[in-house]
Amino acid sequence: MRTKHRDERAPVALDPHAEVEKMYIAEYLKAKGYSLAEIANLPAERAKALLEAASLYASLRLAELETGAALVDKLHLDDTTTATS
């Protein structure tokens, strides 16, 4: 009997927004004059505050994205129901 090794398991599903969230975090940090790599060299309290603010920024931007996508879906749905009426 062969046992599965850790890297032979089925891949874990990734959050579809994870890469976009990382992009927004990097965008926020860049606007503040930092990169994600540079955060590791800051005092813990400062790094934590920056990452919390960057996370909030990313969350708000993702919410904007989702709202826009929902609006497009609604407009598309309204357009298709109007066209068939």
* Assigned token pair, 13: 């599903």
**CA angle (34 as vertex; 29, 68 as ends), nearest 5:** 15
Q: What confidence score (pLDDT) does residue 13 get?
A: 54
SS3 labels along 50-77: HHHHHHHHHHHHHHHHHHHHHHHHHHHH
C-alpha–C-alpha distance, residues 19 and 78, integer Å: 31
C-alpha–C-alpha distance, residues 23 and 9, integer Å: 28
Q: What confidence score (pLDDT) does residue 32 get?
A: 97
Q: What confidence score (pLDDT) does residue 1 get?
A: 46
Residues 6+ apart with CB under 8 A from 35: 26, 29
The one-digit pLDDT tens for each residue of the chain (85 residues) are: 455 555 566 555 577 788 999 999 999 999 999 999 999 999 999 999 999 999 999 999 999 988 866 667 666 666 666 665 5
